[in-house]
């Protein structure tokens, strides 16, 4: 199976989700359109996105620091939203993580906007009743502690089913159509990825959210093993939705 993976920021790789797909025998075609890099042509100067879903069985859209509607600075975002709609219309599974989730919301007409606070760290998320019969989340533990790092949130698109919620940010995961899934959390992170993010923003976090910096390593050790299992379960179950 061929999976198109759109990497919106070079510091935000597919991580555990990508590893689970590769271990399942998938080929991951990674394109970083804003940075001009792709796994197929790593020496090229540009990395154009495909025009449609031809040749791919699924689409994964990763996170990034930009706002989902910032087409001026990141003109490829509009094309990413178009690909999300195209894959969904073709009944091919779509998986959006953080910014990827926000782009799914945007693709289907929902508003994406700044959240009241920046959520950072391993925070508790609760599966809702609608998740009980869901093919991706059904049967998993009702509470998950998963890595978060986001400033924005979104309204639910029309026809979407809310699957997970949080204490400070209500819309944490939803499904639209048969197999398009949006997760606000970063379930894909490894310890190295999470630490690299913290190193890159340590001064800001120390000034604005010192409690997050103090608790970060403890949260990593307490919650990453379970969060990693959640990542593998979600990714493998999503893969089973391939038509």
Provide the residue-wise pLDDT of the chain in tens; the chain has 243 residues: 999 999 999 999 999 999 999 999 999 999 999 999 999 887 677 779 999 999 999 999 999 999 999 999 999 999 999 999 999 999 999 999 999 999 999 999 999 999 999 999 999 999 999 999 999 999 999 999 999 999 999 999 999 999 999 999 999 999 999 999 999 999 999 999 999 999 999 898 888 888 888 889 999 999 999 999 999 999 999 999 998
Q: How much is the pLDDT for 214?
A: 84
Domain count, the chain: 1
The pLDDT value given to residue 13: 98
Q: Tell me if 119 sits within 8 A of 149, measured CB to CB.
A: yes
Contact, 83 vs 107, CB < 8 A? no
Closest CA to 149 of 75, 208, 82, 230: 208
The domain that holds 17 is classified in CATH as: 3.40.50.880
Q: What is the pTM of this model?
A: 0.96
Query: Of 1, 46, 32, nearest to 236 (Cα)?
Result: 1
**Domain that includes residue 166, residue range:** 2-239
Distance from the first to the final alpha carbon of the chain: 11
Query: What is the distance between the alpha carbons of residues 205 and 212, in angstroms, rounded to a whole number?
Result: 7
């Amino acid at each position: 199976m061929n999976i198109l993976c759109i990497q919106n920021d070079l510091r935000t790789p597919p991580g555990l989700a990508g590893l689970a797909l590769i271990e399942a025998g998938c080929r991951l075609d990674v394109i970083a359109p804003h940075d001009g890099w792709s796994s197929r042509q790593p020496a090229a100067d540009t990395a154009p996105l495909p025009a449609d879903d031809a040749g791919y069985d699924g689409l994964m859209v990763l996170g990034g620091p930009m706002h989902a509607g910032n087409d001026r600075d990141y003109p490829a975002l509009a094309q990413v939203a178009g690909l999300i709609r195209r894959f969904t219309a073709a009944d091919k599974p779509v998986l959006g993580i953080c910014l990827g989730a926000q782009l799914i919301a945007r693709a289907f007409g929902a508003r994406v906007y700044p959240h009241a606070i920046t959520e950072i760290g391993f925070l508790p998320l609760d599966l809702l009743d609608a998740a009980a019969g869901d093919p991706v989340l059904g049967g998993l533990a009702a509470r998950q502690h998963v890595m978060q790092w986001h400033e924005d949130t979104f309204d639910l698109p029309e026809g979407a089913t809310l699957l997970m919620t949080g204490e400070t940010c209500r819309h944490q995961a939803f499904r639209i159509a048969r197999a398009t899934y949006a997760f606000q959390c970063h379930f894909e992170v490894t310890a190295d990825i999470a630490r690299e993010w913290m190193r890159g923003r340590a001064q800001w976090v120390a000034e604005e959210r010192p409690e997050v910096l103090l608790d970060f390593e403890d949260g990593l050790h307490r919650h990453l093993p379970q969060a990693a299992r959640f990542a593998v379960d979600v990714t493998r179950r999503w893969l089973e939705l391939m038509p």
